[in-house]
Structure 1
Amino acid sequence: MSGGSKKGGGSKSGSRTTGSAPGTSRELTVKVKTAKRRKLSSTLWLQRQLNDPYVHEAKRQGYRSRAAFKLIQLDERFHILKPGLRIVDLGAAPGGWTQVAVQKVGGKKGSIVVGMDILEWDPVPGAITMQGDFLADDAPDRLKEALGGPADVVLSDMAAPTTGHPSTDHLRIIGLVEVALHFALEILTPGGTFVAKVFQGGTEKTLLDQLKKNFTTVRHAKPPASRQGSAETYVVAMGFRGSVE
């Protein structure tokens, strides 16, 4: 599921250069000194956060995470979210995707957004927010009850904790996608859409075959907001055929 946030303190050096951020004119590049009790990895993470234009823009627009822009960019390309739709957001914390979903589909009769994450997270206005392990036996029923009917879109930004071993990490995230897809096949309305995070290299053949069997269109996409060094990409399956095989 979604990982926790990282925090770190420490002083900043005076070495700065200019750079640009989405929707803003200029931002500064900040170098962070390694604090006595902070690991180098934490220092690099903090430096990356301070210099990430999407982090700054998320704060400016009131999104809870930079990940909101990943869904915005996927939606701009594939037109996933429309007023009146019923959305399930898996791995939702801290709520950036849920916020975007509410903005895109809310305000019209029949629309509903339900989000779930294993982590505790603050409610998102206009959405039903739930804490729980999606892998728990009762999770699908809880989501179905909250939704009160079929879903038009199932979103999954779930990610298992990384081990640093690419093959293991790939298998872990594919396992989450498979569980999310099984749920999507149970709850999606015909014509519905399934979006899930995977690693670069795409999906396993068996999973890809299942997606192609149950959806008319299957695409892989890496939105610009995904960090360059990240192995994540997304599978977008559209046009649910309405039958499970």
Structure 2
Amino acid sequence: MLSRRIFSNLMQRHISNNYANQPIKDGYRSRSAHKLLELNRKAPLFKAPMNVLDLGSAPGGWSQVVLKFISSNPDSKLTSVDILPMNYLHGCTFLQLDMLKKSSIDEIIKHTGQDVDLILSDMPGNNSGIIDSDYLSLVELNNSVLNTSKKILKPGGNVVMKMLMGTLEQDYYKSLSNYFTKVSRIKQYDNHKELKEFYYFGMGWKANIL
């Protein structure tokens, strides 16, 4: 007979798996779409009209979620970027770029302009299983998000980007107050504790950041 603790863990895993698989059943391209749907429930991200940049977009699940909320307004715009190819998605401009190359920002500006309201980043870092190494990989990607924000994000704009817990994470979290008027950590419903993955939600981009 299963112990109460083992049974509880199995049920939690079952619920989490069903929760993660639901976006595929609903027609989204990736299970990760549920992450953005949950983020939006916890901290509403979307309004219309809206100019949105989706980084790390392939295969397009997050872009589909964005379009669900903004596409009804003809003045809305979505630009999606990934180092990998992404199949055509109506209502979205896709750019295949490496965000660690400085030239990518100039290419993005050609399509977004310099009046972006929201930047979303689900870019994955290394997946070595070594927390500090994977954390530093995400820091590098998130720094590219901040550098892009300096060029295209409106004053008062918002940013969502993935992060892992690491020994220096608290210092990085504090440094974000240089860029935003408020920063929150938002954890995911179905995360296994050992993954330690969450998202930063930076609100109120500060103007004139060098």
Using the size of structure 1 for normalisation, the TM-score is: 0.74
Does the 8 Å contact 2:132/2:166 carry over to 1? no
Q: Give runs of ≥4 in structure 1 deviating > 2 Å.
A: 18-21, 200-210, 225-231
1:82 is matched with 47
1:98 is matched with 63
In structure 1, which of residues 174, 197, 217 is the aligned counterpart of residue 162 of structure 2? 197
CA apart distance, 1:203:
6.6
Computed over aligned residues only, the root mean square deviation of the Cα atoms, in angstroms, reads 2.3
Counterpart code for 1:72: L
Write the distance in 1 (CA, Å) between the matches of 2:192 and 2:60: 19
CA apart distance, 1:207:
3.4
Q: 1:197 to 1:240 in 2, by over 3 A?
A: same
Any idea what the Cα deviations from partners look like across 1:105-156, whole Å, max 9, x if unmatched? Answer: 1221321011111111112221111212111232111111111331100111
The answer for unaligned runs of 5 or more in structure 1 is: 1-17, 22-28, 30-50
Write the mapping of 1:2-17 to structure 2, written as runs, cut at 5 A: none
Write the distance in 2 (CA, Å) between the matches of 1:145 and 1:218: 29
Match of 2:162, SS state, is strand
Match of 1:121, SS state, is coil
Does the 8 Å contact 2:54/2:81 carry over to 1? yes
1:59 is matched with 24
Write the distance in 2 (CA, Å) between the matches of 1:166 and 1:209: 19
The answer for unaligned runs of 5 or more in structure 2 is: 1-9
2:140 is matched with 175
Using the size of structure 2 for normalisation, the TM-score is: 0.86
Does the 8 Å contact 2:191/2:197 carry over to 1? yes
Write the distance in 2 (CA, Å) between the matches of 1:178 and 1:193: 15
Does the 8 Å contact 2:156/2:205 carry over to 1? yes
Matched, 1:136 2:98: no
Counterpart code for 1:231: K
CA apart distance, 1:58:
1.6
2:209 is matched with 244
Match of 1:114, SS state, is strand
Write the distance in 2 (CA, Å) between the matches of 1:135 and 1:235: 20
CA apart distance, 1:225:
4.3
Greater fraction of residues in helix: 2
Write the distance in 2 (CA, Å) between the matches of 1:69 and 1:77: 12
Q: Who wins on radius of gyration, i.e. which is larger?
A: 1
Q: How many residues align?
A: 200
1:145 is matched with 110
